[in-house]
Amino acid sequence: MNTDRIYLDNNATTAPTADVMGAVAHGLIKHWANPSSPHAMGQEARQALMQARTQLARMLGCKPAEVVFTSGATESNHIALRGAVGFNGRQGLVLSAAEHAGVQKLARHLAQRQQANLGWIGLTPEGTLDMAQARDLVTPHVALVSVMAANNETGVLMPIGEMARLAHAQGAMLHVDATQLIGKLPFDFDKSGADLVSLSAHKFHGPKGVGALIVRQGLNWPALYQGSQERARRGGTENLPGILGLAAATERLTMAPQAWFQHMASQTRLRDQLEQGLLSRLPGTVVFGGEATRLPNTSYLRFGHLHADVVLQRLERLGIMASSGAACSASGNEPSFVLSAMGIPREEALCAIRFSLSIQTTSAQIQTVLDRLPAELAPLMAEHAAAAGHPAFPSGAFA
Ligand code: PMP
């Protein structure tokens, strides 16, 4: 990475670490044979695949047999949602308004083809689930409830345990898109109560194009790609170099509770340093979902009424990589659907900027942002406020 740049867009993707690169190279060089081949080289590749499966299972608190390797969270989400069509003779699919754009589009596609009846759980102003609505929507007609563990834009954590109890009480399954949570907070599959869990390696310093769907043992979930690999749950020759890279990335996350505590505390400290610093230097800054329980690395905010495009231009000039929301749907002209679902007015939602940190973010980088960004934005905010008739910010507030 160019060391002059400050990368604060880790919810979009993270940089692969040296151990991950080494594991991918090892897979390409040493284990290029097909893990399904019965000869010695194939069997060595198979051994490596089994070891990677065990490593991921250990990190997630699931059984190795529950791991289905996929090309990433998008595919895992597709297996989960498409597999729910007609499950137990049911057509109902309940999902939250915070789900990833890919999940929402797929759900609408299934509904258009009359393969599913959709129920949408709305969001509270703080970005968590409207549980009263959830209780009304989860009925005995529902096959699957799909709720993400943490939102990719706000970082707000969703009540997974409660949703599992709600779904199971009605005989429905619970799918959790844990793509943004894994790597940032500990996750235990058995304790979560989820039946299906999606993840992507590149969100926690693994390679792109590889992930997994965890499928609770005994649940006969249909495949999207037919074939014999992954116990016939996902056909296609395994991406072993990618899977070895994923396993290397999980090793770092198989931590004792004390180590997790320190990991989370240091992430939160840096995020709070950034957030508090911006709030105090730039009055008029507002954090979205700031009162909710959030991922330790994510800060989603607006600088007064400055449009996100204007802020992004300034950030770019300073070499600070951030985003106006989800990388997959950030367009600039449409407000974030997550913020809209939280009831944030369009003109405020169009000002949203997301900073997302990682284990590679340093205190010095955050200090550099705090030293440089307020001087760039304060005059613009004051100008904008004056033009719009808002009270101008006190002079010197950004010194
Ligand atoms: N779900 C969530 C919550 C995500 O943030 C993302 C990535 N932005 C995905 C799913 C899709 O992951 P991938 O692009 O790796 O398939």
- Expressed in angstroms and rounded, the spacing between residue 177 Cα and the centre of ligand 1 is 8
- Expressed in angstroms and rounded, the spacing between residue 307 Cα and the centre of ligand 1 is 25
What is the DSSP code (8-state) at residue 308?
H
For a substitution probing ligand 1, which of 11, 105, 152 has the most ligand atoms within 8 Å of its CB?
Answer: 152
- Expressed in angstroms and rounded, the spacing between residue 56 Cα and the centre of ligand 1 is 18
pLDDT at 396: 35
Residue 153 CB-half CA count within 13 A = 31
**Is residue 329's pLDDT more than 90?**
no
Strand blocks (E) in 53-91? 67-70
**Is residue 206's pLDDT more than 80?**
yes
2: phi then psi, degrees, rounded to nearest 5: -60, 120
pLDDT at 338: 98
* Ligand 1, atom nearest to 209 Cα: 15
For a substitution probing ligand 1, which of 70, 96, 203 has the most ligand atoms within 8 Å of its CB?
Answer: 203
pLDDT at 325: 73
- The model's confidence at residue 384, banded by pLDDT at 50, 70 and 90, is confident
Residue whose Cα lies nearest atom 7 of ligand 1: it is 12
Mean pLDDT of 13-38: 98
What are the catalytic residues?
A: 328
pLDDT at 390: 57
**Is residue 355's pLDDT more than 90?**
yes
Residue whose Cα lies nearest atom 14 of ligand 1: it is 74
pLDDT at 225: 96
Q: Write the pLDDT tens digit of every residue in 334-349.
A: 899 999 999 999 999 9
**Structural tokens at position 295:** 């991922």
Q: Write the pLDDT tens digit of every residue in 149-191.
A: 999 999 999 999 999 999 999 999 999 999 999 999 999 999 9
At 135, which amino acid appears?
Answer: R
Identify the residue whose tokens are 């989860």: 138
Closest among 95, 195, 109, 194 to 146, alpha carbons compared: 95
Q: Write the pLDDT tens digit of every residue in 53-80.
A: 999 999 999 999 999 999 999 999 999 9
* Whole-structure pTM value: 0.95
* Ligand 1, atom nearest to 99 Cα: 3
pLDDT at 367: 98
User: Alpha-carbon distance 298 to 321, whole Å?
Assistant: 14
Q: For the chain, which domains are there?
A: 18-253 (3.40.640.10), 257-394 (3.90.1150.10)
Mean pLDDT of 227-256: 96
